[in-house]
């Protein structure tokens, strides 16, 4: 009998509706953890808005905004242990921050500083990946190492809807499935791959089902519901640690800003679509929940916004005050030891003999 796409039924996981009301069972998180989640989301949004302004002022390079995707990133990162591995693309500032990479590092990277991609000692994360879907095979390789070593570490790979059309993604899924590797592929379906809408990106009913052909279970979650994202990621982490293999999570969310600061979304996206998704803002939704639970109030909100402004101002001052790196310094950063040819190139750079 034919296996028909229309026979597949998918239910989206949601715990908090758009009004911030519980429509599912809340995960087992303490009040302090819930507030910490919200704090990360609010400060991340303030950071994102500030960096966009810095780019418009010519103080940083091209930047990929993430506003609207805070719940998908913070919720998933909270489900990991610090010893687990994170493989980002170019929009995962909140997730990397939760996992231990300072905001200053992310800003230095955007400024083109030679040390911008240098990760703090002990933080298990790979540098930002610009090549679309390139991080999927890296995450698979990391998961293979964990499988070989038996260290029970999980590799979480972040990717966008557009990356699911790349060959690397499918090759990675095939290998991860065959070897039952502890890998999680978290697809942030933000509705647009630059100017390409989701409807033209893939003919699949969902992106969560992409793994079925490879024997990988998938789940679709409301990506603007931080509690739901946390819960499904926690379940995927548990599967991976138990040796049950990889998982795919499709977090349905929305990119409120441009693809990057060199993009103009008004040329391909309607104002009404943006307004509709603003009603689903993950930060507003979570704030309503915290207010309903008597965990938050106007005074705490004002204090948090002040903290965000001060912290980001400190980050900007620290990054802009850091001495610029040199081109020859990059040789020592990229290579553990230099070959004779590389030493010649470094010397030529130092003498400014290259153009």
Catalytic residues: 255, 259, 268
> Residue 233 — left, alpha, or beta (φ > 0 → left; ψ -120 to 50 → alpha)?
alpha
Q: Is 191 left (phi over 0), alpha (psi -120 to 50) or beta?
A: left
Q: 196-204 contacts: CB < 8 A, separation 24 or more? A: 196/162, 197/268, 198/161, 201/161, 201/162, 201/164, 201/165, 202/161, 202/164, 202/165, 204/5
Q: How far apart are CA 307 and CA 291, in angstroms?
A: 19
Tokens coding 309: 């402004």
Alpha carbon separation from 343 to 278, 289, 330 (Å, rounded): 53, 58, 12
- Whether residue 332 contacts residue 339, with contact meaning beta carbons closer than 8 Å, is answered with no
Write b or e for each residue in 328-345: b if 16 or more Cβ atoms lie within 10 A of its Cβ, otherwise e: beebeeeeeeeeeeeeeb
CA dist 247 and 19 (Å) reads 29
């Amino acid at each position: 009998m034919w296996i028909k796409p229309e026979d597949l039924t998918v239910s989206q996981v949601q715990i908090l509706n758009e009004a911030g009301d519980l429509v599912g069972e809340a995960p087992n998180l303490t009040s302090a953890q819930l507030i910490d989640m919200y704090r990360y989301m609010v400060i991340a949004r303030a950071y994102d808005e500030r960096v966009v302004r810095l780019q418009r002022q010519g103080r940083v390079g091209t930047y990929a905004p993430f506003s609207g995707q805070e719940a998908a990133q913070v919720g998933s990162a909270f489900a990991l242990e610090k010893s687990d591995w994170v493989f980002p693309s170019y929009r995962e500032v909140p997730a990397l921050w939760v996992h231990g990479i300072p905001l200053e590092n992310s800003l230095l990277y955007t400024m083109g500083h030679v040390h911008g991609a240098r990760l703090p000692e002990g933080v298990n994360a790979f540098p930002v990946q610009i090549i679309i879907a390139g991080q999927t095979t890296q995450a698979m390789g990391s998961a293979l190492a964990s499988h070989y070593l038996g260290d029970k570490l999980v590799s979480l790979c972040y990717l966008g809807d557009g990356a699911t059309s790349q060959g690397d993604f499918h090759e990675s899924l095939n290998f991860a499935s065959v070897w039952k590797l502890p890998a999680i592929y978290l697809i942030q379906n933000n509705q647009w791959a630059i100017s390409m809408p989701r409807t033209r990106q893939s003919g699949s009913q969902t992106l969560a089902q992409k793994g079925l052909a490879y024997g990988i279970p998938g789940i679709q979650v409301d990506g603007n519901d931080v509690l739901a994202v946390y819960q499904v990621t926690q379940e995927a982490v548990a599967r991976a640690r138990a040796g049950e293999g990889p998982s795919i999570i499709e977090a349905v969310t929305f990119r409120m800003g441009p693809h990057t600061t060199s993009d103009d979304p008004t040329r391909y996206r309607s104002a009404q679509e943006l307004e509709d998704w603003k009603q689903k803002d993950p930060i507003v939704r979570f704030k309503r929940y915290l207010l309903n639970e008597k965990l938050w109030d106007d005074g705490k909100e004002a204090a948090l916004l002040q903290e965000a402004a001060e912290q980001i101002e400190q980050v900007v001052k620290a990054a802009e005050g850091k001495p610029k790196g040199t081109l020859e310094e990059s040789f020592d950063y990229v290579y553990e030891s230099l070959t004779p040819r590389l030493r010649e190139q470094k010397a030529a750079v130092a003498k400014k003999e290259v153009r």
